[in-house]
Each structure stands twice: as structure tokens, then as C-alpha cells.
Amino acid sequence: MLQLRVPRDLKQLCASALLVGLVASPAVAQPPPAAADSATQRETNFKAGFLNGCIKTKQQRGVDERYVRAYCLCAMLEFRAAMSETEFREIIGSDSGNKKALYDLPQFARGLFAQVECENVGRYDGASIDPSEADLGPPRRFDRFSIRLPRGFIAALAPADVPGRVQNFFRLHADLETAAMLSVGIAPPTVFPGSRLVAAPEWYLSMTVESLKSRRWENWVHRHIGDRAIGSLTFKAVEWSASVAGTEQTGLIYVTVIGDEVIVVTTHDVKSHAAATLAMMQASMKTFIFYGTDGGERGAERAE
């Protein structure tokens, strides 16, 4: 369930059950069927072992089981997001020349430190509706972009072997079942069925909206809200609301095209929390910087 597949998931970035379902699922600590190659199998085993070990340790301390699963999912995802693909492969032993003990590797200590935020999982409700810059963390660099996230948002890396990259960030509410989610997808236009290589952003926005509508969510409503600028980037945008699995949700979809790549940024949350969290996520989106294949940077200006 941790792996996203393009193009299906790029078109369905607003699917609320993507990561939240992991928290409540008894299968979260169980490894999936045998992987196709040894490196993937080692990663699967590492994540399963990490989750099992974390869950057992917390349960021994008498911690509530629902919180245990939420905390351990957060800890595993933050540990992974704290390092590059190469550094993580060194951790799980993909590099046959690695002779260092795990605790001697700098990325291991970095991964452990990244879990500190997980202690507060589910405890961020009630934040200001008009967030200031102080509510955002420091810039975090990912594969093709950087962003400042609101406090408590967890990063879930997409796999490296897909034609497009999808990076999800989510923050669980106090019920540990619903969450605010911010997603960034960067992919070649060809991952969209019927794509025209020179299609305008409006076409990709329409495709994204239609794919969400096809999920047969109830009471679907959307409206175009005009262009939205993030520094030097201009996005076509839509605001939407729908009933997802019986829960009213609302969100935004931003789409733009840079050269031969499509960028899709989405935010969404349950309506009972959306007034606060959508404002925070929009403040976060204003710090978005895209790193092009030409070495250029577009988006928000760097803070001096």
C-alpha cells in the first residue's frame, strides 16, 4: 500500500484513504508478497521489521493501540524521508561494500532524529486559521522540489522506479482516522491517457478532475478559481467538495506544465477541519520551488 503507481495514482492524488488506511489496518506491519528483486525485498523486510519492532516496543509500554500504529507508521515514513535513495540503500544493505555498523552511518542518526515529530501525531487540531510563517517548518528538499511544511506533516516517499514521482504529505487528526493531505506529482505528459505532448495546463487539470469524478464520490461539486501564482509559476486551479466514504471532504487542485513535465499539487481534508488546514497548506504551497531538468529553479523566492 505504500507504493503509488503512475499513471493511476497521479490522476487520483486526492484519494483520502491512500495512507490513512494504513494506520487502522492490522496488515500494516506485515510484508507484502515476495518482491521482484532482492533490493526491493530487502526494503520490504526492513520496513516490516521497523514497524513490527516499533509496535511491539510501544505495546509493551501500554500505549493505546491506535496511537501505536499511527506513531509507528509516522516513524517509519519519517526515517525513510530523512535520507536519499542511495543512503537508504546503504542502510538496508543494498551496497555489498558497506562494512559500517548502522549506528555509525550519519543518515541513521538523521533518520532517528526525524521521528521526534511523531510523538505529537494526532495532536495538531485547533491550529490558527490564518497561519503565519512561524507555523511552517524549515525548507525540505525532495527529488525535484523543496517546500516548507506545516508542523506535524509526515512525508511519504513515492518509489523511485515509476515514470513520474508522487510525494505525499499528511497530518492525522485526533481521531487517527482522518487526515489533511498535501500531494505533489511531477511526471511526463505521457502518463496521462490520451495526452497531447503540447497540451495546455487546462487540459491536464480537466483530466485530473474527471478522474476524481469517475471515482463515483457522492455530491461531487467543483469550480474553477482562476490562476494561482507561486512565485514564477502559474497554476490553473479548481476547488472541489464531495462525500468520500460518507465523510464530507473539500480540497484544491493546482496544475501547470513546465517544458515536458506536468506538475500537479493538491490539498484536501475533511470539512470539519478544512477551514484551518487548507489555509495552512496553501501557505505551505507558496514556498514551493521546482527544480527543472535544465538546472533552473521556478516558484517561490528563496528566503535570505
140 and 77 in a single domain? The answer is: no
Residue-wise pLDDT for 173-196, tens only, equals 998 888 999 999 888 877 777 766
Q: How far apart (Å, rounded) are the C-alpha atoms in residues 205 and 222?
A: 12
The residue from 87, 121, 155 where one domain ends is 121
Q: Taking the CA of residue 147 as centre, how many other CA atoms within 13 Å lie in the half-sphere pointing to its CB? A: 27
153 and 201 in a single domain? The answer is: yes
In terms of Cβ atoms closer than 10 Å to its own Cβ (0-12, 13-18, 19+), residue 216 is exposed
Q: Give residue 194's domain range.
A: 128-304
Q: Taking the CA of residue 266 as centre, how many other CA atoms within 13 Å lie in the half-sphere pointing to its CB? A: 30
144 and 76 in a single domain? The answer is: no
148 and 251 in a single domain? The answer is: yes
The residue from 67, 94, 121 where one domain ends is 121
User: CB-based contacts of 301: which residues, under 8 Å, 6+ apart?
Assistant: 231
The pLDDT value given to residue 189 = 78
In a domain, 173, yes or no: yes
145 and 265 in a single domain? The answer is: yes
Binned at pLDDT 50, 70 and 90, residue 223 comes out as very high
90 and 148 in a single domain? The answer is: no
The one-character DSSP state at 28 is: G
In a domain, 8, yes or no: no
167 and 104 in a single domain? The answer is: no
77 and 197 in a single domain? The answer is: no
Domain count, the chain: 2
Q: What angle do CA 135, 277, 8 make, to 5 degrees?
A: 120
Of 12-16, 68-72, 120-124, 183-187, minimum mean pLDDT range: 12-16
- Provide the CATH number for the domain around residue 244: 3.40.1000.10
Continuous segment of H or E residues that includes residue 81: helix 65-81
Residue-wise pLDDT for 163-173, tens only, equals 567 888 999 99
Are 83 and 109 in contact, with CB atoms under 8 Å apart? no
Q: Is pLDDT above 80 for 18?
A: no
- Average pLDDT over every residue of 5-30: 31
In a domain, 26, yes or no: no
297 and 151 in a single domain? The answer is: yes
138 and 285 in a single domain? The answer is: yes
Beta strand residue intervals within 191-260, DSSP E: 218-230, 233-244, 247-258
Residue-wise pLDDT for 138-149, tens only, equals 898 887 899 999
217 and 259 in a single domain? The answer is: yes
138 and 246 in a single domain? The answer is: yes
